[in-house]
Amino acid sequence: MIGRTNHMSGKVLCSLGALILLFSISLGAGVSDTPFVQEYHEAYPLEEGDVRALAIDRTGDVWAGTRTGVYRLDRHTKEWIPLAEEDAGPVYDIIVGRTGRIWIGAWNGVYQSTPDGLERFEQINCPIAALCPVGDSIVGLGEGGIWRIEGGSCTFEKVPYSKHFRAVLEDRNAGLWIATGMGLYHHTNSGYKLFQTQSELLGPDIHGIAYAQDGNLWIAGLGGITVYKDSNRIGHFTPQNGLPSISIQCVAQGPDDYMWAGTNRGVARYDGRGWSLRHSRRWLLSDDVRDIVFDSHGTAWIATDAGVSAIKRRSMTLAEKADHFLDVCLTRHVREPGLVEKCSLRVPGDTNTWTPRDDDNDGQYTAMYLATESFRYAVTRSPQAKANAKKVFEALRFLQTVTETPGFVARTVIPAFWTTMADANRKISDRQWAEMVVHNPREKRVETRWHPSRDGKWLWKADTSSDEITGHMFGYLFYYDLVADEAEKRHVARHILNIVDYIIEGGHVLRAMDGTHTKWGVWAPEKLNEDPDWAPERGINSVEILSYLKLAYHVSGDERYQKEYKHLLDEHDYAANVRHAKTTNLTWRTHIEDELLALAYPCLMMHEDDPTLRRLYGVSVDHWYEAVKADCSPFFEYIYGACVGQTPQLKKTVESLRDASLDLVRWTVDNSHREDIQIVRTPEWEHLQTDRLLPLSERGVIRWDENPWRTVQGDGGQTESDGVWWLLPYWMGRYYGYIQPPQ
């Protein structure tokens, strides 16, 4: 009884400390949730693709010129309407004249819009590669000269310029800038000047020209962008100063005064300080960008070789973004009996074709969703959050009870009628087994992964890993502390103790159905301390088992868990294992262990009241944070804050939550071809990685156990993320006061 009393007084002191910490954080510089601009993509594919030019008329209609002709987008049906003139393609340029009429440069001359469709300007019978308005006239380039259309007539001026016309722009003084494949010409009434040499341009193969807000001329082509003020070169942009590609195909000034550059690797934007990139199918139908125009709402309409992409903007708060992601999660990512994970898309990117799927880590990531709803409930007292959390807890408990063992936890369950699942049962021949064990001496021969439930309704998956147990315990910790009432606490505690007792009785391993440990479910001293093949897991698995035992003691007050905890620390030197649990060995390092430590540390830091052990765990957490802080992960940052009371990169991580795309489809994002980065082999040797961390909007959708530095991420749009990777740090940030409620 004395032990129980001491334990409870320790809990009270620890709780008071946590309250003081929370209070001090809440009074600190939490980031205000003010509205920000959220970009998102809408796709408007054209069957034949190959869009060369775009224009937006005064009514807001979008016009597209392609290899086959001219199309106008119906704003109501969002379908492309082909214009009646059959001979209008190929099209090379489309502009809006000063009177609002659409002008089209095509293979056989110039077309203009009329109330009845298109009308060809009969006086011009040659390819017109580029158009621009000049006063009340229209200038077109073709057949080695300049055509000027005014009223119903036109004139032609032959010029001694390159015939490789690409673009034309009025110089604001009745002259013309003419971009060609052989340089830039400045045409005036007094003659012309050619800019072509290396001292004048990065390269003479010019594709686009545009004025910036400050009046400077941006000249884009192969080699990058050269900037002129009047007729003097004043600067340039190449990959050495942030431009993602040297192959620039068009350039335009956006309504926010950003400069947009279309490349063969996506669309880049310059905000006056640096460049960002919108690429991959998340943002564009194709990365081959040919033209960019803007409507009155600030939407960027982008011509690609696969159709037209619109990058739209809306104002929202982080709270509204959280509502959006939660809606996605509840709509497509919760499957019976309440598990939360990715879903499959029968048609890549089409969320209307979603189907549920299983994953080895269903248990872990469902438990992280449990923590998410627990934090949301603690912040909002939302009945929905509490109901969701309770359902998810019961789903996780079912992963244990369905096995009909004292404490073994299944990786996941699926309905018995499913015929497709990950890692189906299979026979392993002796020859195959030899290959497996030579490759990995810790391998386990598991042929029957899936087992039927007693009632025949489910198949449950065995060979559960330490990852799953660590994820479960993380979710239970916050459900117990933040959501459960007294009766529910007793229910949760019994479940936790069943699992922990099963691990202790098995000799600090997770015993499988054959009586031996699962492949990864090992926390035993004789393995971690004495078996050299377990050296990479020595630190992390020591932290894990200590956190399980601390949680068991926290929810029960039973001294035998504390005794077991101290036995591992003192008799088996787990204290030494824990001190630098995070390995920085480039061969052994993985982001899986970064995440698992993030899941294991909170219980130790929040519910340990021994000052010596708190200092030990503080050293371990600091060592981990030094290794992960470069990732700028909001989840890692707020875990660190929960453990030690500070978040050194708060503003950066909040900005990354804002920057994250609304699109959770796991499109393939390939940054290996970018020219503004270097390919390296750090922080892990296993993968090719970028030498600087790219913004979330320029990376694939990942979870926090994946390497954010990888050059290639995603799965081609075959799955959609559940969004928990974003929701969990957001609600943690709200709970700990790092993110303020919306104003």
Helix, strand, or coil here: 729? helix
Distances (CA, A) of 590 to 319, 430, 536: 32, 31, 10
Q: What backbone torsions phi and psi does residue 545 show, to the nearest 5 degrees? A: -65, -35
Which tokens sit at 206? 């010019």
- Enter the DSSP assignment of 83: P
Largest Cα span, the chain:
104
Average pLDDT over residues 132-145: 94
8 A C-beta contact, residue 659 and residue 701: no
pLDDT at 21 over 60: no
8 A C-beta contact, residue 44 and residue 78: yes
Long-range contacts of 685-694 (CB under 8 A, 24+ apart): 685/586, 685/587, 686/590, 687/711, 688/712, 693/630, 693/631, 693/632
Assign 83 a pLDDT band (cuts: 50, 70, 90).
confident
Average pLDDT over residues 431-452: 96
Q: Which residues pair with 252 in a beta bridge?
A: 260
Helix or strand holding residue 389 (H, E): helix 383-401
Helix, strand, or coil here: 404? coil
Average pLDDT over residues 93-112: 95
Q: How far is it, in rounded angstroms, from Cα 142 to Cα 132?
A: 13
Higher pLDDT, 152 or 518: 518
Q: How far is it, in rounded angstroms, from Cα 68 to Cα 48?
A: 8
Query: Residue 391: how many CB atoms within 10 A of its CB?
Result: 15
Residue with tokens 């031996």: 516
Which tokens sit at 347? 């048609």
Assign 11 a pLDDT band (cuts: 50, 70, 90).
very low
Q: What is the DSSP pairing of strand 109-114 with strand 102-106?
A: antiparallel
The amino acid present at 546, given as its one-letter code, is L
> E strands of 505-604, at which residues?
509-511, 517-522
What ranges in 423-485 are assigned the alpha helix state H?
Answer: 430-439, 466-482
8 A C-beta contact, residue 541 and residue 466: yes
Q: How far is it, in rounded angstroms, from Cα 300 to Cα 254?
A: 8
Assign 583 a pLDDT band (cuts: 50, 70, 90).
very high
Convert the pLDDT of each residue in 254-302 to its tens digit.
Answer: 988 999 999 999 999 999 999 999 999 999 999 999 999 999 999 999 9
CA-based end-to-end distance of the chain: 50
Please state which CATH number belongs to domain 40-316.
2.130.10.10
Picking from 80, 39, 596, the residue whose alpha carbon sits closest to that of residue 364 is 596
Q: How far is it, in rounded angstroms, from Cα 687 to Cα 711?
A: 8
Which tokens sit at 30? 């939490």
Assign 13 a pLDDT band (cuts: 50, 70, 90).
very low
pLDDT at 19 over 60: no
pLDDT at 613: 98
Assign 14 a pLDDT band (cuts: 50, 70, 90).
very low
8 A C-beta contact, residue 52 and residue 67: yes
Domain boundaries, the chain: 40-316
pLDDT at 23: 36
Q: For the sheet containing 191-195, what is the strand order?
A: 165-170, 176-180, 183-188, 191-195
Picking from 72, 181, 192, the residue whose alpha carbon sits closest to that of residue 130 is 181
What ranges in 107-220 are assigned the alpha helix state H?
Answer: none
Weakest-pLDDT range from 113-127, 364-378, 426-440, 687-701: 113-127
The pLDDT mean for the chain works out to 94
pLDDT at 85: 63
